[in-house]
Amino acid sequence: MCMNNSVTLKDIAKALNLSISTISKSLNDSYEISVDTKQKVLAYAQKHHYSPNRLAKGLKEGKSRSIGIVVCSLDNNVIAQMLDGIDTVSADNSYQIIIMQSKESQKQEAACIELLYSGGVDGILISPACETVDFSYLRSLQESGLPIVLFDRLSDQIDTHKVGADNFQGAYDATMHLIKNGYKNIAHLNTNTTLSIATERLNGYKQALMDSEITYRPELLRSCDYSDTQKLNSDLREAILYFMSLPDKPDAIFTATDQISTRCLTLLNKLGYHIPTDIALIGFTNTDLAEALSPALSTVHQPAFEMGQLAAKKLISLIESKVHDQEYETVMLETYIQARASTQSKD
Amino acid sequence: MCMNNSVTLKDIAKALNLSISTISKSLNDSYEISVDTKQKVLAYAQKHHYSPNRLAKGLKEGKSRSIGIVVCSLDNNVIAQMLDGIDTVSADNSYQIIIMQSKESQKQEAACIELLYSGGVDGILISPACETVDFSYLRSLQESGLPIVLFDRLSDQIDTHKVGADNFQGAYDATMHLIKNGYKNIAHLNTNTTLSIATERLNGYKQALMDSEITYRPELLRSCDYSDTQKLNSDLREAILYFMSLPDKPDAIFTATDQISTRCLTLLNKLGYHIPTDIALIGFTNTDLAEALSPALSTVHQPAFEMGQLAAKKLISLIESKVHDQEYETVMLETYIQARASTQSKD
DNA sequence: CTGTTAGCGCATTCAT
DNA sequence: ATGAATGCGCTAACAG
């Protein structure tokens, strides 16, 4: 009987009057064991619900068949979809997933990583906290042999496999969509973080303007504090009021994140602006409810589930490859635009 | 160096020319060790980022300081909030959480539980799959000493701590809210599952009708298949069309789950019905976007985060209590009604 | 074909 | 105050 009273090899050995290693080999279908013995052992094991102790196995084999995941938050639409993708692949490959939240704090993130590392995970999947600028700890773990894959929020501070969305293109497409639909004065709401996804989305926006020969107006860009919902809401509110107070006010807004997109819509409604006649709106978001919103919201959709799947696949391949000399690659999955009423053509 | 190249007791012992047990005792601040030695050991350990191997520790101590969680799906608003609550409490108490999805399949759920059990988790938090009717496996684990707590979806097939929402009252309040606002012909959309939360919500609805002296009309109750989104959508569509074709058609719908509520709203809009003039709508859902929907959706809100927190607390107390003779209790957390445009008063 | 032994990293009991 | 020895459950090298 082991820690949780389950049957162990020893128990079976005793019951069957065989040695522990014979049992182990039988259960692992070793060629050394006679068919007869194997059957006896297997039968007993099944009858008594034997299942190997993963802790012991992990300790012995130097791995735990578990993957550590660090995300900023669990209560988040897009992240939930990514986790779902990660879990699908992990489960298929018999890896358990251990999930931890950084809550956007670099310090807490480090604690998560440390805990996962000492917990003996075989690898780590991480979407860094927006605070995180220092990747030296992660790098040091990597150098000592721990496979790491970045997903969603990427960074060039560490050399490894990375799986994200093509944020530049997504932002470019969204802005172009607005322009094609007759909107020329396009504001942009982004986060005040240094995350690459923020910069890429901003750059996509700028490039679309440039390609359309629309002058970029710095006053139409506002960066909002992401630290908490309260602060985000007040920043957004302020930004919107500012935009609408401009002499040459915008006729459309492109929003850079799930949170910002949906909250912006809510705020515009609350402030009494009519979408899209007063102002059009398109934003990054994965919510299923986009079409049920008032008005139906045009969105840039990220392949979140697929990102999770691919990131998990990359990590598992890293874990299971003996030679660690594969070229690291960065994959950017395509986003797509879902046009709805909030960006109805002006014509 | 252990499995992931981290420093072990042995390494420190060798480096400091001391025995392993001295190192172990120093790090555990044993009274047997001199202050001098302790300091030396501690200094070395910190410098080299020693962290105990959880696998080894778990194997030795017969526990892993980890909690297994089984939910039907990760990609779900309400569940994400519950997981967030669970994680908060778990992290505070230095427990890692291992999350698995049953995808509503009893078979897969059993596999999850087995995996968690053999993984040496100290306890299991489970919200059973809607397919699950047989709790004997879970009971047998419990009998062999594994602490188990049910949350959200409860069952009387197993005797343990249970944390859920007061579904009866929530449904009662929602129905009463409709009645007070002048709606008398109230339809109800529920799942076709045998889950107690489904029955409780149905009973709350019925009781409210009864208390208001409104006759319950069986034709105004439809149960939809929950097996997949496709099926759910088509069932809902059919149900709505059926309701609206009735000679004495309903003037309001009360929906029993997050999925049903939001999809029902989307479908009503698509089918061209105006809410609430053609038909009012209130439902269980926790989405932040309720007020941004078209129209703003009245909801029954569940304290999902708190449910998660409380369930985790209960489980940890079960794990850490030496004597397993505490009385099991079932806690039902209060829901609350958020009234919005979709149930505007008829007057 | 089966059994013995060793060792993964740790805590702990029992010497010294 | 320190160290040697044991065992948690498992696999694997080696012996018989």
- Segment B283-322, tens digit of pLDDT: 999 999 999 999 999 999 999 999 999 999 999 999 988 6
Q: What is the separation of C-alpha A149 from the centre of its chain, rounded to a whole number of angstroms?
A: 11
- pLDDT above 80 (res B3): no
List per-residue pLDDT tens for chain A, 347 residues long. Answer: 666 667 899 998 989 999 898 999 899 888 989 999 999 999 989 888 888 888 898 888 888 889 999 999 999 999 999 999 999 999 999 899 999 999 999 999 999 998 898 888 999 999 999 988 899 999 988 888 899 999 999 999 999 999 999 999 999 999 999 999 999 999 999 999 999 999 999 999 999 999 999 999 999 999 999 878 899 999 999 999 999 999 999 999 999 999 999 999 999 999 999 999 999 999 999 999 999 999 999 999 999 999 999 999 999 999 988 655 678 999 999 999 999 999 999 87
Contact B226, B130 (CB under 8 A): yes
For residue B123, what are its two tokens?
């306890």
List alpha helices for A28-166, DSSP H: 35-47, 54-61, 77-92, 106-118, 136-143
Q: Which two tokens stand for residue B276?
A: 């609430």
Q: Which chain A residues are within 8 Å of B144, Cβ to Cβ?
A: 4-6
**Residue–nucleotide distance: B43 CA to D1 C1' (Å):** 19
Q: What is the pLDDT of residue A227?
A: 79
pLDDT above 70 (res B1): no
What are the residue ranges of helices labelled H in B125-245? 136-143, 167-180, 196-211, 229-245
pLDDT exceeds 70 at position B160: yes
Pairwise CB contact (< 8 Å): A75 & B80? yes
Quick one: average pLDDT of B236-247?
A: 97
pTM for the predicted model, two decimal places: 0.93
pLDDT per position as a tens digit, B77-105: 999 999 999 999 999 998 999 999 999 99
Question: What does the pLDDT read at residue A324?
Answer: 58
Are A58 and B55 a contacting pair at CB < 8 A?
yes
CA dihedral of residues A273, A276, A282, A285 (deg, nearest 10): 70
pLDDT the model gives residue B81: 97
| Minimal CA separation from B55 to chain A, in Å | 5
Which chain B residues contact residue A77 at CB under 8 A?
77, 80
Q: C-alpha angle A69/A305/A256, rounded to 5°?
A: 90
Q: Are A98 and B96 in contact (CB under 8 A)?
A: yes
**Residue at minimum CA to C1' distance from nucleotide C5:** A21
Residues in contact with A290: Cβ distance below 8 Å, sequence separation at least 6, in sequence order: A296, A297, A298, A299, A338, A340
Q: Which residues of B touch A145 (CB under 8 A)?
A: 4-5
Tell which strand D nucleotides have any atom below 7 Å from a protein Cβ: 1-5, 7-14
| CA contacts within 13 A on the Cβ side of A167 | 23
| Strand pairing report for B96-101 and A280-284 | unpaired
* Chain B contact set for A101 (CB, 8 A): 84, 87, 91
Query: In the prediction, which pLDDT does B149 show?
Result: 98
Q: What local confidence, expressed as pLDDT, does residue B170 receive?
A: 98
Closest to B53 (Cα-Cα) out of B6, B115, B119: B6
Give, in Å, how far the C1' of D13 lies from the CA of A61: 14
**What Å value separates CA A1 and C1' D13?**
26
Q: Is the peptide bond before B295 cis (omega within 30 degrees of 0)?
A: yes
In the sheet where B96-101 sits, what is the strand order?
Answer: A330-333, A161-165, A148-151, A123-126, A66-71, A96-101, B96-101, B66-71, B123-126, B148-151, B161-165, B330-333
Question: Which amino acid, one-letter code, is at A236?
Answer: L
Query: At a CB cut-off of 8 Å and minimum separation 6, what does B250 contact?
Result: B185, B186, B187, B220, B243, B279
Considering only CA atoms, which residue is closest to the C1' of nucleotide C13? Answer: B21
CA neighbor of B71 nearest in space, from B106, B100, B111: B100
Place of tokens 């409380």: B310
Look at strands B280-284 and B252-255 and give their pairing.
parallel
Chain B residues within an 8 Å CB radius of A287: 289
Which of chain B's residues have a Cβ under 8 Å away from the Cβ of A2? Answer: 62
Nearest DNA or RNA nucleotide to B25 (CA to C1')? C11
pLDDT higher than threshold 70 for residue B325: no
CA at B24, C1' at C16: how many angstroms apart? 18
Long-range contacts of residues A142-145, Cβ cutoff 8 Å, at least 24 apart = A144/B4, A144/B5, A144/B6, A145/A324, A145/B4, A145/B5
What residue ranges define each of the domains in chain B, with the CATH number in brackets? 9-52 (no CATH), 64-165+304-333 (3.40.50.2300), 167-302+337-343 (3.40.50.2300)
Measure CB to CB from residue B56 to each of A59, A63, A100 and give the nearest one. A59
Distance from the Cα of A179 to chain B's closest Cα (Å) equals 25
Which chain C nucleotides are covered by protein, judged by CB under 7 A? 1-5, 7-14
Tokens of B40: 């030396």
Query: What average pLDDT does this structure show over B151-176?
Result: 97
Residue B323 has pLDDT above 70, yes or no: no
Per-residue pLDDT, B324: 59
Query: What residue of B is the nearest CA neighbor of A286?
Result: B75
In terms of Cα–Cα distance, which of A192, A197, A245 is closest to A221? A192
Which helix (H) or strand (E) is A172 found in, with range?
helix A167-180
E runs forming strands in A102-198: 123-126, 148-151, 161-165, 186-191
Q: Which of B3, B99, B289 sits opposite A289 (nearest CB)?
A: B289
| Distance, Å, A73 CA → C16 C1' | 54
- Chain B interface disruption, residue of A10, A27, A53, A54, most B CBs within 10 A: A54
List C-alpha distances in Å: B78 to A53, A191, B81, B267, B285.
33, 26, 5, 21, 8
Residues from chain B contacting residue A99 (CB–CB below 8 Å): 83, 87, 97, 99
CA A37 to chain centroid: 48
Which pLDDT band, with edges at 50, 70 and 90, does B226 fall under?
Answer: confident
Q: Which two tokens stand for residue A191?
A: 């986060």
Nucleotide nearest to B1 (CA to C1'): C9
* Interchain contact, B66 vs A99, CB within 8 Å: no
CA-wise closest residue to A190 among A264, A247, A251, A301: A264
Q: Is the pLDDT of residue B221 over 70?
A: yes
B247, B250, B252, B225: which is closest to B237 by C-alpha? B225
Nucleotide with the nearest C1' to B57 CA: C10
Name the protein residue, with chain letter, whose CA is nearest the C1' of C3: A19
Question: Distance from B53 to chain A by nearest Cα, in Å?
Answer: 5
For residue B59, give the nearest of A55, A77, A117 by CB distance.
A55
Alpha carbon A270 to chain centroid, angstroms: 31
Tens-place pLDDT, residues B30-78: 898 999 999 999 998 988 888 888 889 888 888 888 999 999 999 999 9
Residues in contact with strand D, defined as Cβ under 7 Å from any of its atoms:
A 1-3, 8-10, 20-21, 24-25, 27-28, 32, 52-53, 56-57, 59-61; B 17-22, 25, 31-34, 36-37, 56, 59-60, 62
At residue A37, φ and ψ (nearest 5 deg) are -60, -45
Minimal-distance CA residue of chain A relative to B116:
A96
Contact list in A for residue B141 (CB cut-off 8 A) is 4
Q: What is the mean pLDDT of chain B?
A: 93
Protein residue closest via CA to C1' of D5: B21
